[in-house]
Every structure is written in C-alpha cells, then in structure tokens.
Amino acid sequence: MVEAISMAQAWELEHDAAVVVLGQDVGANGGVFRATAGLQARFGADRVQDTPLAEATIAGMSVGMATHGLKPVAEIQFMGFIYPALDQIINHMSRMRYRTRGRLTCPVVIRTPHGGGIHAPEHHSESMETLLCHIPGLRVVCPSTPARAYGLLLAAIRDPDPVMFLEPVRLYRAVRQEVPDDGRALPLDRCFVLRTGVDVTLVTWGAMTLETLRAAAELEGEGVTADVIDLATLSPIDADTILDSVAKTGRLVIVHEAARNVGLGAEIAAIVAEHALYDLQAPIQRVAGYDTIMPLFRLEHDYIPSARRIIDAVRVTLAAP
Amino acid sequence: MTIVAEFTIQRRQILDANAVLVAPLPRFAADIGEIVKMYAAMTRVRVFDAKAVNLQRTGQLGTYPSSLGHEATHVGIGAAMQPEDVLAPVYREYGTQLWRGVTMREILAYWGGDERGNDFAGPRHDFAWCVPIATQALHAAGAAMAFKLRREPRCALAYIGDGGTSEGAFYEALNLAGARALPVVFVIVNNGWAISVPVAHQTNAQTLAQKAVAAGIPGIQVDGNDVLAVRHVVGEALQTARRGGGPTLIEALTYRLSDHTTADDASRYRAEAEVKAAWAIEPMLRLREYITRAGAWSDDRESALLQECSHEVDAAVSEYLSGEPQSTDAMFDTLFAQLPDHLHAQRATARRYAAKRGGASS
C-alpha cells in the first residue's frame, strides 16, 4: 500500500503544479514509512519539503498555502503526534470556507499513519479517527487496500476541501496488489462492499478489514454468510450502502480498532437505529478496542479486535430470538 | 537609532577532542576518581546500548533509539544533578537515567513493549520517557513550579532534541520559566539530526542556545562530547536555579553516531564522511586518554571494566527475557485510581480471550 500512496502523490505532483508535499522527513528520507520515497529527487525540494519538527507548523502552513493557491499534501508522521496540529485543523482548516463564506478555501490533505499491530513504540499505534470525524467541515478517509489507497488519495488531493487521510500501518506492507498508475480516482462518498452474504452485515474500515474478512470466511464454513462493508470514507458516512445491506440481512456488527466509547461504531449504530430499526432482527453489536490506552506492543494484539471476537459477536446476533 | 538589546553566546569546553585541557579543571575534577567514575558510567551505557541494538536486530526488543555518541552529555548531566532533582527525559538519555538509578531491565522492558519499564524502582519522582516531542519541557517547568511554591531546594531538568526546539511547547516552557524564575534547566542535545532533517533546516539561528535570548534567560553552548564541561556547566546552572536565580538553557553539541532508531537507515540521508569525522571527536576516546595519562587508567582496568559491564548487561538481559509477561489486566489496572464499572466488564472480556488463546500474547 505504501507504494500506491507514493504513486498517487507522484501522479498529482506531475499533473497539478499547485500540489506541494510537506512534512517531517518526507524529503531525502522519503518518509519514515517510505510513503514519499523518491518524490523529492523527482520533483525538487520546493515541491517536496521537509518541515521543521513541528506539527502545528505543518497544519498552519498548510492553511496559509492552501488559501493562496497551493494544494498541500502534508504528512503527520504518526497519528499520536497530530494533536499540536488540531488547533489549526479545527479552528482554521475545517472552517475557512464556512467562515469566509467561500472567499478562502483549504484544499489540504493531511496524511497520517493509523492504528497498531506493527510493534511500534508508545504513541505510534493509536486509532483516533473519531476525533477527526467529529469536526464539521472535514472529510476523513481510511483506505484498506493499495488500489483503494491510490484512488482515494487522488480523490482527496483533488477535493476542494480538507481531507484527513488515515493510512493503516498494518497494511503498508501487508497486502501486495498490482495497481495501475492511471490517475483514476475513487469516490469519496461511497462504501466498498468487499463480500456479500445474507445473514449479517459487518461494517469496518482500515486494517480491521483483514480480521473481519477472516471472520466472514470462517463463518461461511458454518453456513453463515455476511456482507462485509469497508466504510473507506469515515466522514461523511455513506449511510445508504449500510442501510441497504441491513435491510437485507437484519443483523449488524460494527468492527473498529479504536476504543469503543464514542467510537465511530456508535454513530453507525445510531444511523441504523434511526433509519432501519424495524429491519433489525437482533441488537446491533460493536467489536472495538477497549476503553483504555492503546497498550505497548506486548499486549497490542489483546487490544485489537480479533477474528474470534468478531465471530462471537456475529453469533450473538444470530442467537437473538 | 538606539540598540536596546544585544546578545552573545559562549561555548564552553574543558577537555578538547585531543584530550588537551583548554580550561581550568572544575572542583569536582580535582579527584581523578570522580572522572574515572564518569568514564566507567559512559562505558557502561555504551556496552548496554550496543547490546540493546543487538537485541532488536535479533527480534528480542522493539524499535530502539540508540544513545551512541551521547555518553558525555548524558553522564555529565547525571553526575551534575542531585538525586532529589527531577529528570524529564526525551527517549534516549539512558546514561543519565542509569546514573540516577533506572535499571537496564526497565529500559529493556519499555522498548520491549512492556509498560512496567516506565515504573522506575529507582528515581520514583522522575518523569517517564517522552515520545511526543518537546512536551516534556513544560512538565519540567511545572515540576519546578511545584518546588518553588513549596520552597524546596530542588530543580527540574528537561532534555530536548535539536528538532524539538522547533515545537511550540519548547518556547512556551522557556518563556514561562523565565517569567517566573523557575528552578529548571533545559538542555538541548544538539546531535545534528532530527531523524533525517539537519539542524540547519530547522532554524536559521546560528546557535540553538540563543533561543534563550527571547525568553530573557541565559543561553550557553557546551561541548557535549566533553563530560567535564557538561557536568560543570550543568552543575552551575542547577546551582543558580536552586538558589532562586532562575532557569538556564544549555545547548550540548554532540553527534548521533547511530541511526535515529533501529527502524531508521541514516545512510539514506547522511554522508558517510560526516559520520567518520564525528567518530574522531566522540566522547570516550579523549576521556580515556586523559585518565590514562593521569595514571588512573590502563588496558587491564579497561578490560576489567568491559567485562564487568558485559556481565551486568547480560544479567539484565536474561532477567528481561525470562520475566513473567504482563496479563491483559495490565491494560486496565492503572488507568484510573479506581476502575469504573464498565471497564471491569471489558477487563473480564480481555481475560477471557487471552485464556482462549492460552495466555496474553507476547
């Protein structure tokens, strides 16, 4: 996936003179995950810039650049370091268009690694998408395959508004897939249905698509088939795809790595409760990270939902009278 | 026109890279035994560090930031501080921490993915490792505020990297500490590189020490590869702070001889010649030569020390490797003083799934 992300940035650098890539170590080093590998050599140090080590700088500079004709594609090195940037993102980037009545706009992409599972150090493994999804005026995207990373990142860069682009670290090198470098974007307002079935709807995103697909495959062996939906764009949510599926299956299990409390799963559950309560044959189940700190890596796989936990949650929905 | 402010920045050095004394020896150095003790501590951390890198390479430790090349700065600061002072480290200052009583096993536990590494048996009041850049500078200022309000003769010392000086929290800490004359010392370890970004790309300032000027506090550079100068300069700053004289910013000039961490490959962005030149002025060589010339060191003592350090490190490693893993309860047990009800249920769930798998993963 990491090559697809680099490829999408290269495409846009090549085809849109306004695009500027910036961040810590994105230049000569090509990013700590190699997501900007080779870009500075190819496009020069003005278009692919190493910033000082300051996240508020990266976000605030991006606001200034974007309001004045550039399209910054900024990298925050790990999601755990995004917090100094939030003041700029919340108070300026997300509302620049709104408060200036469209006079100034912020076509910014902030890319940041997301989630755990790679034995990284403290503060390197968090899933904080809910923080971003709660901010009006932002789009939040989280791809789950190289092809979707490529197509969605192109769409994010071309979008006229700010997009937070969360890259699951576990997928950077986990999945290999041939991705044509054709400059074709994917829609930012659609879920992706990864697998179809009739008994239960499983909604997830990012790296949790792996465990969820594994659970669905195992359940199929027991004669239980599932729709597996990759949310992909976490905000705004494509409710239609989810509601259509629930209308068919009558059962919903939401899976996310982030903590359960006020997680995005609660929003999805609320949407389904509001619009499709009478389609449901069983209470909605959430399988999520626990409401505690993402532990250091010895325990991270006890924190991250497993296929086993997903299967058990599906069984709960099937057992409902 | 009137000039309303001017500044100068001093650079202090006592023992130069050729092991020549270029300034008078400070009082602590009158006893050669004190210098030998620091040399031993520098050797100890270097031996430990090499072993830790090796453990990572063999899959027995997580990502690990090496302290190679920083030994004089780290040990000099450890020796300058009082036990009751508070250390706010970044994440590679093992030389200071070992001096202050943090154990090798704790360091290995932390980088081995086990929270118990942050629960120091030694300096209970020191801050834990601090990965979010520059945030610790404000914690040190806050601790210093506590000492000041209680009129305790204690100081806080915050480390910060050269890259960290670009963060707002660093300036905010300097500013507050200056405005309130807090008993805190800030030490910038300028090792040349913030992962792949060189200092010249962080700032157009000639020195990082001069960042003190705008906060109205003294700023000084010291040769961070000269343990005598580091201990002396930091000791003076701590003494000033302890007596109510306010904070100091010290820029220690050294070099990161290793990659940023074991997950980094510095050859992608750093010239080999620069690293080679840095090895010529690294901190151990000059000190060894100095104590040897003073008749306080020999090849025999060197090999005895190395053997002693290896034994200590090996013992810590086997303790680390054979230690009982944390149960999944560890994810919950120190989150709150009293665990809320809904977390009791989650703790039970985590236990149940760990049991199905035959224990917590490790």
A131-166 confidence digits (pLDDT tens): 999 999 999 999 999 999 999 999 999 999 999 999
Q: Can you give the pLDDT at residue B345?
A: 96
Sheet architecture: strand order including A285-289: A192-195, A226-230, A200-204, A252-259, A285-289
Percent of chain B clearing pLDDT 90 (strictly above): 98
B197 CB neighbours in chain A (<8 A) are 24-25, 27, 50, 52-53
Q: Measure the CA–CA gap between B33 and B43, rounded to whole angstroms.
A: 15
pLDDT at B359 over 70: no
pTM higher than 0.90 for the full model?
A: yes
Q: How do the domains of chain B map onto residue ranges?
A: 11-323, 327-362
Sorted by where each starts, the structural domains of chain A and their CATH numbers stand as 2-172 (3.40.50.970), 192-319 (3.40.50.920)
In this predicted model, what pLDDT tens digit does every residue of B219-267 receive, in sequence order?
999 999 999 999 999 999 999 999 999 999 999 999 999 999 999 999 9
Stretch 240-269 of chain B: residues touching chain A, C-beta under 8 Å:
261, 263-264, 268-269
Closest-CA distance of chain A to residue B243, Å:
34
Chain center to CA of B241? 20
Q: Which two tokens stand for residue B313?
A: 């490190």
Closest to B248 (Cα-Cα) out of B120, B158, B322, B134: B158
Report residue B360's pLDDT band, with 50, 70 and 90 as the boundaries.
low
- Which of A154, A160, A170 has the alpha carbon at shortest distance from A120? A170
**Which of B57, B60, B270, B346 is the best residue to mutate to test the A interface, defined by the most A CB atoms within 10 Å of its own CB?**
B346
Q: Which contacts (CB < 8 Å, 24+ apart) does range B266-274 have?
A: B266/B193, B266/B196, B268/A28, B268/A29, B268/A30, B268/B196, B269/A28, B269/A29, B269/B196, B270/B193, B270/B196
Cis peptide before B24 (omega within 30 of 0): no
Provide mean pLDDT across the span A95-102.
98
| Helix or strand run (H / E) with residue A288 | strand A285-289
Paired with B185 in beta bridges are B157, B248
Q: Is the pLDDT of residue B362 over 70?
A: no
Please identify every residue of B annotated as catalytic. 256, 260, 269
Q: Residue B79: left if φ>0, alpha if ψ -120 to 50, beta else—which one?
A: alpha
Which residue of chain A is at minimal alpha-carbon distance from B346? A290
Q: How far apart, in whole angstroms, are the C-alpha atoms of residue B211 and residue A263?
A: 42
Q: Is B323 on the interface with A (CB under 8 A)?
A: no
Residues of A with CB below 8 A from B133's CB? 53, 81
Out of 3.40.50.970, 2.40.30.20, 3.90.1150.10, 3.40.50.1100, select the CATH number for domain B11-323: 3.40.50.970
Helix or strand or coil: residue A190? coil
Of the pLDDT bands very low, low, confident and very high (cuts 50, 70, 90), residue B357 is confident
